[in-house]
Amino acid sequence: MRFDLIDYFQKLNFIYSYFIKNNFSEEKMYKKILNDKSVVIDVGSNLGNFVNLVKKTNKSCFVHSIEPNKELIINQKKKFKKYNNIKFHNFAINAVNGECEFYIRKPHSHSSLNKEHPDAEFNEIISVENVNTFTIESFLNEQQINEVTLLKLDSEGSDFDILTSCKKILSLRKIKYIKIEATKKNLTSIMKFAEDNNLFLIGINNLFHYKNSLNMLDLYLENKN
């Protein structure tokens, strides 16, 4: 599917028909693309649900779990203690290197670097902490990672900015596949960036609607550079 269908993609009926027609399975995708030498990066790992799914698919691939909430990282270390091929990082990924305020919300899954949240009525800020931030490119250089099989982005509002900061390394095909959370606010921008940078849509999942409107969904992109 090409991204020149962007206007239709935003319409709920089209999304449903695409979803049903292609019968996309996240788990089947991972079984196809992951092998024992794969490197997976989970940005915004939260409770570790994505890490758990990846490990169910391939126990041998190496996972970098990145989460700025220290409490959640501690919980993940306990949860995944049987694995020696998961590395936990207690900082945030952003479009720039530096330091930023991190707004911890209830529930924790809505915590983000942004004070404003599109679903503010469903959460509340319970604390604010300063966290270090790194770009994906800086992180790859620091960890000496030459190729990422799968990059998952779920940063509650910063996903598009992080994606655009990856433009150079995407052109070098250092990242093969991307899972990114899109919202009604940034969906068009993500799709346009993908079209301009040779990223192809291969699936959608986890559609969430509120008040008869598409609120968010996950996009799965393949780097064709």
This prediction has a pTM of: 0.85
193 has pLDDT over 70: yes
Instruction: Name the band, by pLDDT with cuts 50, 70 and 90, for residue 143.
Output: very high
The mean per-residue pLDDT over the stretch 53-81 comes to: 95
- % of residues, the chain, pLDDT over 90: 58
Higher pLDDT pick, 19 / 144: 144
For the cut 90, the answer to whether the pLDDT of residue 63 exceeds it is: yes
C-alpha to C-alpha distance for 78 and 207, rounded to whole angstroms: 30
Residue 104 has pLDDT above 80, yes or no: no
186: its two tokens: 């940034």
For residue 5, is pLDDT > 80?
Answer: no
On average, the pLDDT of the chain sits at 84
Q: Residue type at 80?
A: F
Query: What is d(CA 164, CA 56) in angstroms, rounded to the nearest whole number?
Result: 30
Provide the token pair at 48.
């570790």
**Residue 36 predicted with pLDDT over 50:** yes
Residues 122 and 149 sit within 8 Å (Cβ to Cβ):
no
70-83 burial, b at 16+ Cβ within 10 Å, e below that, comes to eebbebbeeebeee
- Does the pLDDT value for residue 224 go beyond 80? yes
